[in-house]
Amino acid sequence: MRFATHSTFVFYYTKYKTQNIMYTPPFISKKLPIVGHTLEFAKDHVKLMQRGFAEKGSVFAFSLAGKNAVALIGPEYHKAYFEATDKQLSIQKVYGFVQAITGKVFFLGSHETYLNQRPILYEPFKYRKSLKYVPIMQHVIEDCLQKLGDEGEIELTQYCIHITRQVAGNAFMGEKFQKEMGSAFWDLYDDISASLDVVLPPNLPLPKFRKRDRAKAKAKEMLKPVIAARRANPEQYDDFLQEFIQTPMVDGTYADDETLLNFIITFMFASHDTTSGHAAWTIIQLLQNLDYLKAVEAELAEKFSHGTKLELNNISMLEHIYWAIEESSRMNPTADILLRFVEEDWEVGAYTIPKGWLAFVAPKVAHFLPEIHENPDKYDPYRFDTTREEHKTCPYQQIGFGGGSHKCAGMFFAKNEMAVMIACLFRDFEIELRTPNPVVTRSKGTPRPSETMIRYKRKAKMPQGFQNEAHIAQAAAMGCPHAHKM
């Protein structure tokens, strides 16, 4: 069984369930004595997942540092994975190494803490509240791009990180904080996040851990008066930090200063490396696929001339950009594997995954299944357009933002931010890719493009209402099926 479609999954499940036959997942080859598959995993975990899938199919086992692990590939298995409870598959246990940075809050705390704090986690993303973020994003991004001057060369991912920090600073802590203290706060964040270590115990007396503790203490001191001012005059503030301060938890209590700092750091951690890496891939792939870029530029010329204000209610008009974002999420997911700890024996399909194992899903492998995506290796954002909607063929096949109860809380925030960034960039600049074929690098944690230089040159401004017939004609000539609607 290479890939479980819905019917094969139900068939196997029913057959083996009724006969009471359950299997342990088959181990892949090349298991070394003592270390198992640890070295291969550390060298390139995606390659190991691809090899496992090619060798054993949708469910396979391997061995990591003395622990057994299972990988599950395909929508039906993803469904079982994401719909399992935290008591069956624990998220908190596998991200223990992040706790030294973020504290034990939200999904990094115990299951009880998570449930208690969940209202705070989701408050900033409620529809009415999220209305304000798209205008903030546009304001901040246009300001950043203005400072680029008329032409030059930049490293793309670093620049996307710069932008996402500006957006996060303004949206999470407010414009005043970002202007006055943003850069000092981000420096402290860098010292805190640089201490991330998957292997070493976080309390060893090492310089990087001491630096982390000093930076956390300083950040806390910095936030104290800010929080006090907000508690005294809540009506003057309207950002994530304010939602964190004034939203009660399930037990009716409010977060204290230390917890608020941990919330902010957790959000910074979860949001900006992921968003900048994903934005950079989307831009790179557009620059590698000039036919599709023509269609994006035609859409921008038609719908997003200078002076157009983007809002939550009109931003989805940038359809070609959203399809490009989806295609990059499919082909280059920044979370290329996800992990859980199996807390109790867990039955999935014809298998029992024993308690104590690690359980993985692998978006970077699962997004390339030919049963779901036509020509999966081909860059083709139109697979997400309204006439094809490949991503709707079955649930849980696009998992770049996770799924189930821990699905990315900031997914729409991130997609909108990337859409604004890409729209402003290609509206304002001619861009040339100076590094033609960037590859994935994982040297800094979250997978991101290797160093990618781009050259930019500012375009003449397009006035409001301007229709670029030449662009639309070009988009049609390049085969854009939507050119007639522009």
For residue 247, give Cα distances in angstroms to 122, 173, 253.
Answer: 10, 15, 9
410-429 binders of ligand HEM (CB under 6 A): 410, 413-414
**Residues 101-130 within binding reach of ligand HEM (CB under 6 A):** 107, 121
* Least distance between ligand HEM and beta carbon 345 (Å): 21
417-451 residues labelled b (16+ CB within 10 A) or e (exposed) = bbbbbbbbbbbbbebebebeebebeeeeebbbbee
Cβ 403 to ligand HEM, closest distance in Å? 7
Among 206, 408, 440, 473, binds ligand HEM (CB under 6 A): 408
Q: Which of residues 338-397 bind ligand HEM (CB under 6 A)?
A: 338
Contact 197, 97 (CB under 8 A): yes
Binding to ligand HEM (CB under 6 A): which residues in 451-470?
Answer: none
Q: Which of 275, 397, 416, 468 binds ligand HEM (CB under 6 A)?
A: 275
Q: Smallest distance from the beta carbon of 333 to ligand HEM, in angstroms?
A: 7
Indicate left, alpha or beta for 375 from its phi (over 0: left) and psi (-120 to 50: alpha): left
Footprint (CB under 6 A) of ligand HEM, residues 77-106: 91
Size of the site for ligand HEM (CB under 6 A): 21
Which residue in 292, 401, 426, 429 binds ligand HEM (CB under 6 A)? 401
Residue 146: Cβ within 10 Å count: 11
- Residue whose CB is less far from ligand HEM, 210 or 442: 442
d(CA 372, CA 78): 14
Backbone angles phi, psi at 276, to 5 degrees: -70, -40
Least distance between ligand HEM and beta carbon 401 (Å): 5
Beta bridge partners of 338: 361
**Minimum gap (Å) between residue 214 Cβ and ligand HEM:** 26
H-assigned helices in 147-239 = 156-168, 175-193, 207-232
159 binds ligand HEM (CB under 6 A): no
The residue from 166, 259, 262, 271 that contacts ligand HEM (CB under 6 A) is 271
Local structure of 385: helix, strand or coil:
coil
Pick between residue 279 and residue 462 the one whose CB is nearest to ligand HEM. Answer: 279
Work out how close the CB of 273 gets to ligand HEM at its nearest, in angstroms, rounded to a whole number.
Answer: 9
Closest of 58, 70, 56, 71 to residue 13, by C-alpha: 58
CB-nearest residue to ligand HEM: 410
Name which of 335 and 423 has its Cβ closer to ligand HEM.
335
Q: Minimum distance between the CB of residue 193 and ligand HEM, rounded to whole angstroms?
A: 15
Could you tell me if 390 and 383 are in contact, meaning their C-beta atoms sit under 8 angstroms apart? yes
Give Rg (Cα) of the chain.
23
**Beta sheet of 453-458, edge-to-edge order:** 151-155, 453-458, 429-433
Give 170 or 468: the residue with its C-beta nearer to ligand HEM.
Answer: 170
Give the residue, chosen from 134, 141, 144, 335, that forms a contact with ligand HEM under the rule CB under 6 A.
335
Distance, in Å, from the CA atom of 406 to the CA atom of 201, rounded to the nearest integer, reads: 26
DSSP 306-364: TTPPP-TTTGGG-HHHHHHHHHHHHHS-SS--EEEEE-S-EEETTEEEPTT-EEEE-HH
Which C-beta is closer to ligand HEM: that of 270 or that of 315?
270
Indicate left, alpha or beta for 323 from its phi (over 0: left) and psi (-120 to 50: alpha).
Answer: alpha
> Which range binds ligand HEM by CB under 6 A, 61-69, 143-151, 255-263, 270-278?
270-278
Tokens of 208: 């990087």
Closer residue to ligand HEM in complex, CB, 237/269: 269
Tell me how far, at minimum, the Cβ of 340 lies from ligand HEM, in Å.
7
Residue 298 or 359 with smaller CB distance to ligand HEM: 359
User: Residues 70, 270, 301, 359: which binds ligand HEM (CB under 6 A)?
Assistant: 270
253: its two tokens: 């209590």
CB of residue 300 vs ligand HEM: minimum separation in angstroms?
Answer: 21
Residues that bind ligand HEM in the complex, under the rule CB under 6 A:
91, 107, 121, 267, 270-271, 274-275, 278, 334-335, 338, 400-402, 406, 408-410, 413-414
